Structure 1
Amino acid sequence: MSGPRFEPVRTVRAYERIVEQVEEAIESGALCPGERLPSERDLMVQFSVSRSTVREALRVLQARGLVRSRPGDPHGAEVQPFSPAALHKSMTTLARVDELSLGELVQFRMVLDASANLLAARLRTDEQLAEMDAAIAGMRAAVEVGYDAFSAADIAFHDAVARASRNKLIQICTDVVRSIVLGLVSGKIAAAADREALMRQSIAHHEEVLAAVRAGDGPLAARLSRQTMYDYYLGYVPVDERPALRALLE
């Protein structure tokens, strides 16, 4: 018999339905940050479930950063404002369970940083240029100090560029992806025999990017950013994932 092929039906637990409805209410604006859900007892009545089911749903919602819940709180769980911490946790979990490869993360960072540089070249202020200058000066000073100080100055540069893009989502995603990538490779970089050479090469790349941003040349700043990421991380990415990175250079 021909016809459509159906997938097995997934059994949905009661607490998952509660989570779905609360998430929908938050996404639609029916529940806003600072507002409170009904008490546990009222939720039990509204959803016709047990107290343990309600508490499991609240535990999941809190783990996702959507509410802050205290067992037995008569005022109900409080809806939380959006936090990058929730996004960071989700992406970190995906990376740890191998749903996101290092190649995919680096590729996404190449896209994000290039976009930030493109926008920064058009929108940056003199104060933000000064912040980028100061960050590179910090990188130079940190070469003799150690990798941790160098990495902090490097992050300060990219944070300044991201702020200059005037796009909050780029700022959040850049911070999240960068920290995950660095968490995966920082140990290898810190232990590299040619670490000082790598740091000096990185400084040269950053100086080129800053010159393009200062000149207002967005396309050049974006292209240099992609090349910098490619050169810096290629050796840490598995061989079979490298073509995807090269595709962003073409």
Structure 2
Amino acid sequence: MAARSESAQPARVYQQIADAIENAILSGELNPGDHLPSERELVERYGVSRPTIREALRVLESNHLVKSRLGDRRGPIVLSASSHLLQKSLTRLTAGEVVGLASLLQFRMIIESAAVLLAASNRSESDLVELERANARMRAGIDLGYAEFSAADLDFHRTVARTCSNPLLEFSGEAVRESVLRLTQQRITDSGDSRAQMLLSVRHHEDLLEAIRNKNGPLASWLLRDGLYWYYVDYVDPADLPNLRGLADEVRPRE
């Protein structure tokens, strides 16, 4: 982390310091679990005021790169990589109506069908146990309510993403899942047939789990896309359904 002089720099010095620390994290100079120098040490290192350092740390925390712990006299701890920034960008795009539900679902189909294709080849017995537990929790969630059901559903897909052993697919999948959930959660909760919808999803996930168990990646890939289509079909603009259906069937195995 190279030092900078506050007097020699233009405005927004805090951003330059935040960028320097971020570069140290991305380059591996600082690793997850490491602590940054204390606030006083950073003031001395960069030759800037305490408020400037605090603002730089706020930027890093808002980007989920570091985290300060109350009462810890050491500097903030460096966090592991996450999908937060991508998720934040998708949230902004959906909030501004630049990206709608159909586009998010198309992206999710592509990302997650690739992940499950790889997961079917890579899965271990312990992965199958985790998937079975998540699926059982989904089935129990039908009676417990949508919040419990949704949490189990997310765990199922996170296990698939982790099993695929591709961090880019894992982070992208996490971000788009959260964005889709944010757009649809209230509508699904308020739906008069949400129970039937959850039951249909459980059955799709059971078929998907069986394909993963049998290491049938192409079938798992299609089941993933087909399941997403039917789960969200009532919430997508009818004009967007043909493209969504076509994308789902693009990977349909031949009879």
Q: State the TM-score bracket (shorter-chain normalisation).
A: 0.7 to 0.9
Contact 2:35 2:78 in 1 (8 A): no
Q: Which amino acid aligns with 2:188?
A: I
What is the aligned partner in structure 2 of residue 154 from structure 1?
153
Aligned residues: 239
Cα 1:213–1:29 change in 2 (3 A) is closer
Deviation at residue 188 of structure 1 after TM alignment: 0.8
Which residue matches 1:189? 188
Q: Give the superposition deviation at 1:173.
A: 3.9
Shift of 1:221: 0.9
Q: Kindly tell me: are residues 241 and 60 of structure 1, through their superposed partners in 2, closer, same or farther at Cα, counting changes over 3 Å?
A: farther
Question: Distance between the aligned counterparts of 1:136 and 1:199, measured in 2?
Answer: 11
Q: Which residue of 2 aligns with 1:114?
A: 113
Amino acid at match of 2:185: S
1:212-223 aligned at under 5 Å gives the runs 212-223=211-222
Normalising to structure 1: TM-score of the pair?
Answer: 0.75
Indicate how the Cα distance of structure 1 residues 117 and 193 shifts in structure 2: closer, same or farther if over 3 A, else same: same
Amino acid aligned to 2:225: R
Name which of 68, 88, 91 aligns with 1:90.
Answer: 88
Q: How does 1:95-244 map to 2 (within 5 A)?
A: 97-98=95-96, 100-238=99-237
Instruction: Give the alignment's Cα RMSD to 1 decimal.
Output: 3.4
Aligned partner of 2:7 in structure 1 is: none
Once the two structures are superposed, residues 96-131 of structure 1 have per-residue CA deviations (whole angstroms, 9 ceiling, x without a partner) of 643654334323322232122111221223343344
Counterpart Cα distance in 1 of 2:220 and 2:90: 28
Q: How does 1:41-52 map to 2 (within 5 A)?
A: 41-52=40-51
- Check conservation: 1:31, 1:79, Cα contact below 8 A: no
**Residues 117 and 218 of structure 2 are in contact (CA less than 8 Å); yes or no, is this contact kept in structure 1?**
yes
* Cα distance in 1 between the residues matched to 2:33 and 2:44: 23
Q: Which amino acid aligns with 1:146?
A: G
2:118 aligned partner, one-letter code: L
* 8 Å contact kept, 1:59–1:69: no
Gapped runs of 5+ residues in structure 1? 1-10
Q: Secondary structure at the match of 1:111?
A: helix
| Gap regions ≥5 residues in structure 2 | 1-9, 251-255
Confirm or deny: 8 A CA contact 2:30 2:78 kept in the other structure: no
Letter in 2 for 1:82: S
Deviations 1:159-207 (A, max 9, x none): 3433432445544443443233223211111211222221232223223
1:40 deviation in Å?
Answer: 4.0
Question: 1:20-75 deviations in whole A, cap 9, x for unaligned?
Answer: 2221222122333444444545544554433322221122122222234479x875
Does the C-alpha gap of structure 1 residues 36 and 200 become closer, same or farther in structure 2, counting only changes over 3 Å? closer
1:231 aligned partner, one-letter code: W
